[in-house]
Amino acid sequence: MPVSCIKFVLLKIMFAEVHCPQKMLPEELDQYLERGWFRMGQTIFTTNFLNFKNRFYSAIWLRIPLADFTTDSTGQKLQRKNARFRVEIQPAFITAEKEALFSAYKKNISFEASASLKTLLYGKADFNIYNTTEVNIYDQHKLIATGFFDIGKASAAGISSFYDPVYKKYSLGKYLIYLKIEYCKKINLQYFYPGYFVPGYTLFDYKLEIGKPVLQYLEFPSLNWKPLASFRKNSTPLHIIREKLHLLQALLLQSGIESRILTYEFFDANLIPELEGIVLFDFPVFLICDGLSEENPIVFDVRDQQYHWIKCKSVWASASNNGSKDIYSSHVFKFDHGMFSSEMPQAIISMIINELKSSGRMMSVKTNVARQPNSLSG
């Protein structure tokens, strides 16, 4: 791959990206959802990686083909369990009652939520560019649960669900999802998008049980939707990236070159709306060779299945320290240019050896890099 092509590949599809549209047509929302995007306030974003408590994970986007969806035994059980409650579905709007319900809900969850319902739906804006519908559940005249979802031309996306903690035993959060799906099916939409699940992080696993026989996941980077039954944990982008970098690290060590594999704290900086269009470095994991600048990381890109040795430049120096030697948090990087790309780790190693020799930072190395044990040749 020519060095000049690296920017094109990295700019074509970013791992993390945010758009700040001024309007959102129904067919535009369909297109975003089909590519694995999700609404955040009045912006819309996509990401392939997540960081929870300094552990990195892959985000796997989901959708339910509504024509094939039938209410399963869990959905039927929830309908019977909550039959005495009243359900209303209408265009979404914020009230003091819903804000109070959201506030009570936040006090009883283990994850961080938006500061308010207004912030969740509108962000910093005072308007809504999305066609948002709400499901409200009442115990007589008391509002006990609310769920929001956005409707496009042929699809819809679940945005948020929350409930009164007093009613936790009724599984109202899951019941709201079934109600959203049934409504979307009733108005003849084709797809319902419940967001993502996270392999290895169980908080989102409840989504995998709703519509399970027909549930699909978005395979990255092909952007093809496939049956969830065909999903394998060892096929996630993060697993592949780590595997390829560990192979390279082992081969480097055989050539007398030590290196570090680091996770990058600012991998999702592109999701900050104010930074839209800057195109910051967004690889979650990279390798740095001893003797070379940290601004010259080596990455493995699952989009073209190649190693890339690249030149970055710092756009911001951080004074914070996250306390982990395996997480890089010193600088926010921006792509500068590609230095070398190859499918073969040995080709990258040869270039690194040449660079270290020419700079006098490596006086003695193995010169025949191609002669590697078969167990590491990949």
pLDDT tens readout for residues 20-63:
999 999 999 999 999 999 999 999 999 999 999 889 999 999 99
3 domain-assigned: no
How confident is the model over 290-333, as pLDDT tens digits? 999 999 999 999 999 999 999 999 999 987 766 678 999 999 99
Rounded to whole angstroms, the Cα distance separating 7 from 236 reads 23
Domain check: are 188 and 287 in the same one? no
With CA atoms as reference, report the closest residue to 351 among 281, 302, 292, 305.
Answer: 292
Which residue is associated with the tokens 């500068």? 336
Tokens of 261: 């594999």
Q: How many structural domains is the chain composed of?
A: 2
How confident is the model over 161-171, as pLDDT tens digits? 999 999 999 99
> Which pairs with CB-CB distance under 8 Å and at least 24 residues apart come from 360-364?
361/291, 361/292, 362/256, 362/257, 362/291, 364/256
9 domain-assigned: no
Domain check: are 199 and 318 in the same one? no
Domain check: are 53 and 192 in the same one? yes
Domain check: are 66 and 146 in the same one? yes
Residue 378 clears pLDDT 60, i.e. is over it: no
Domain check: are 195 and 256 in the same one? no
Rounded to whole angstroms, the Cα distance separating 232 from 283 reads 21
pLDDT band at 246 (very low <50, low <70, confident <90, very high): very high
Domain check: are 359 and 319 in the same one? yes
154 domain-assigned: yes
Domain harbouring 102, CATH code: 3.40.630.30
Domain check: are 65 and 139 in the same one? yes
When pLDDT is averaged across residues 239-252 and rounded to a whole number, the result is 97
Tokens of 320: 């914070």
pLDDT band at 110 (very low <50, low <70, confident <90, very high): confident
Strands 191-197 and 216-219: unpaired
Rounded to whole angstroms, the Cα distance separating 299 from 15 reads 13
6 domain-assigned: no
- H or E, element range at 237: helix 237-254
Q: Which domain holds residue 98?
A: 17-234
Domain check: are 192 and 286 in the same one? no
With CA atoms as reference, report the closest residue to 102 among 43, 161, 179.
Answer: 161
Domain check: are 106 and 160 in the same one? yes
Domain boundary among 234, 257, 278: 234
1 domain-assigned: no
Domain boundary among 181, 209, 234: 234
For residue 255, give the DSSP letter: T
Domain check: are 216 and 271 in the same one? no
Domain check: are 107 and 131 in the same one? yes
Domain boundary among 183, 205, 234: 234
| The length of the chain, given as a count of residues | 378
Domain check: are 176 and 324 in the same one? no
Q: What is the pLDDT of residue 358?
A: 87
Tokens of 197: 């699940």
